[in-house]
Every structure is written in structure tokens, then in C-alpha cells.
């Protein structure tokens, strides 16, 4: 039910690498996500659930949300003051019922083997839900290419990542079904394509090296090895297409 053991600590350790790479991709996707909000955002109270560095909450704030609270298990990932932020578990939210108008869960519900309990808790504190996940069929060749380079240099994905990957990326109909099981009366999902603006070999490597299952390992390498690893990875992804993501957007209320 809960996120795989060790994931929170890994995201904590990955915060610097995340901000240098994946945050840029997720910020673009957050803008598209925000455009699908199922409630009026002007003056809205929003919970950014599983916020990471808070890009989804910021996108919703730019569209008019009055109050955004970011919540995540990894404290070093959370946005800095004056942003409102709290450390917490999506299955045990530290908020009273109906504290928010909207819960935004950007790429966080897929960290649960069963997303119904966190969805149920989100429904308790907010009347509407906006969530995103990768479309199950989506892939980009840079992922496999960089993984191969990492493996040749001795990297092995941590155990928690294998658990998360086993349950990742539910399809749109699956997400809508989970939402209805959590008590939402209406739920719909659609797939949208997002151009992330990450187009160069350096961008693609920043994306992969900043992910939580990779960044702590890369960051611990001696400088010379890290430079050689990056050079090999950038060579491996040269000529690959820009990073365009197929994203499932769920709205429920």
C-alpha cells in the first residue's frame, strides 16, 4: 500500500540531481496538468500531494490558486520557504477534512502498490483530484541507452525501484477505476503529449542521472569517474529525438 521502503530516503539523497534535471521536465508537464484542473483555481486552496520540488503546486499557483501546501516524504525535495510545506504520508494526511478545494498528485500515486487508500485520504481533505502518470505505452530510447551505460559502469538499481516499477504507470481507465473505488462520483482520464524542451544529449542525460534511483550513486562517484560516465552517456544518446512525454491526466470529484 505504502511507497516502497527506501524510496523516501533515495529522493532525499537525489534532491540536487533532481533539481538539475528531472525538475525541468516535470515543470513542463505540471503546466499542462494545471490546465486540466477540475475546479476553478482563482482563490483555490490546493494540496500538492507527493510534491517533490513543488512544480505542480507552482503551476497551479500561477493559474490563480490562493494557497498551496506541498507535502512529501522527502524533506530535502520540498520547496523552500516562503512556500508552505510539510513532511507526510499520503495515506495519513495531517490535515482536517475539507481543508482544500483540490488535491494535485503529480506522478505520485504510481508509487503505491494500491493507489485507492491514498486517493481515499486525498478525497477526505479535498473535494476534487487532479493526478498524472506516464502513459503505460510511453517510452523514450534514452532511458534504455543510459541504463545500459550505467550498468556497464557498475550501477544496479536499488530494491525499492524494482518494487515501484512493478506497479508503475497505470492506464487512464485504471486510474479512473481506482478513483471511483476511492469514492469519487466522477472520474475521467485522457492521454496528452508534452514537449518537455529537453532536447540535447546533455538534457537527456540530466534527466536520467537526476532520477532518484540513479542520482545518489552518480553523486558518490569520484570526479574523474563521474566525468567519464557522463561523456559515455551523452555519446550513447546523441542523435536521439527530443523528450516528448505521453502523460495520463486524471480528473475526479
DSSP states of 156-190 as a string? ---HHHHHHHHH----HHHHHHHHHHTT-S-EEEE
Nearest-angstrom CA–CA distance, 244 and 83: 29
CATH number at residue 104: 3.40.50.150
What's the CA angle centered on 234, arms 20 and 149, to 5 degrees?
100
Q: Which are the contacts of 238, defined by CB distance < 8 A and separation ≥ 6? A: 201
pLDDT digits (tens, 9 = 90+) for 36-61: 999 999 999 999 999 999 999 999 99
Indicate the helix (H) or strand (E) that contains 71.
Answer: strand 67-72
Query: What number is the average pLDDT over the span 62-85?
Result: 94
Please check whether residue 174 lies inside any domain of the structure. yes
Residue 248 lies in a domain: yes
Percent of the chain whose pLDDT exceeds 90: 86
| Residue 146 belongs to a domain | no
Give domain status of residue 21, yes or no: yes
Q: Does some domain include residue 78? A: yes
Quick: pLDDT tens for 154-164: 999 998 887 66
244-252 and 129-134 as β-strands: parallel, antiparallel, unpaired? antiparallel
C-alpha distances out from residue 236 to 42, 114, 147, 151, 218, Å: 45, 36, 10, 13, 17
**pLDDT above 60: residue 3:** no
Per-residue pLDDT at 235 exceeds 50: yes
Instruction: Give, for 134, the enclosing helix (H) or strand (E).
Output: strand 129-134
How many structural domains does the chain have?
1
| 11-23 pLDDT, tens digit each | 998 999 999 999 9
Question: Which residue range(s) make up the domain with 61?
Answer: 7-138+167-196+242-252
- Does the pLDDT value for residue 1 go beyond 50? no
Check pLDDT > 60 for residue 167: no
Q: Is residue 90 part of a domain?
A: yes
CA distance linking residue 39 with residue 6, whole number of Å: 35
Average pLDDT over residues 106-116: 91
What is the distance, to the nearest Å, from the Cα of residue 202 to the centroid of all Cα atoms in its chain? 21
Angstrom distance (rounded) from CA 108 to CA 74: 12
224 is a domain residue = no
Amino acid at each position: 500500500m505504502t511507497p516502497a521502503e527506501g524510496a523516501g530516503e533515495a529522493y532525499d539523497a537525489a534532491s540536487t540531481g533532481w533539481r538539475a534535471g528531472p525538475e525541468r521536465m516535470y515543470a513542463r508537464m505540471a503546466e499542462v496538468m494545471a490546465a486540466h484542473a477540475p475546479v476553478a483555481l482563482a482563490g483555490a486552496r490546493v494540496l500538492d500531494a507527493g510534491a517533490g520540488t513543488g512544480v505542480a503546486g507552482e503551476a497551479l499557483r500561477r493559474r490563480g490558486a490562493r494557497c498551496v501546501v506541498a507535502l512529501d516524504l522527502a524533506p530535502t525535495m520540498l520547496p523552500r520557504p516562503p512556500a508552505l510545506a510539510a513532511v507526510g504520508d499520503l495515506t495519513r494526511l495531517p490535515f482536517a477534512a475539507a481543508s482544500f478545494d483540490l488535491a494535485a498528485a503529480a506522478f505520485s500515486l504510481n508509487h503505491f502498490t494500491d493507489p485507492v487508500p491514498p486517493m481515499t485520504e486525498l478525497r477526505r481533505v479535498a473535494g476534487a483530484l487532479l493526478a498524472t502518470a506516464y502513459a503505460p505505452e510511453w517510452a523514450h530510447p534514452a532511458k534504455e541507452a543510459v541504463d545500459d551505460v550505467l550498468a556497464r559502469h557498475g550501477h544496479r538499481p536499488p530494491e525499492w525501484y524494482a518494487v515501484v516499477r512493478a506497479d508503475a504507470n497505470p492506464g487512464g481507465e485504471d486510474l479512473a477505476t481506482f478513483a471511483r473505488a476511492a469514492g469519487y462520483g466522477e472520474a475521467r482520464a485522457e492521454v496528452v503529449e508534452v514537449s518537455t524542451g529537453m532536447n540535447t544529449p546533455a538534457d537527456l542525460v540530466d534527466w536520467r542521472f537526476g532520477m532518484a534511483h540513479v542520482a545518489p550513486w552518480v553523486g558518490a562517484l569520484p570526479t574523474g569517474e563521474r566525468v567519464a560516465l557522463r561523456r559515455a552517456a551523452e555519446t550513447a544518446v546523441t542523435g536521439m529525438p527530443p523528450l516528448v512525454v505521453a502523460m495520463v491526466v486524471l480528473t475526479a470529484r
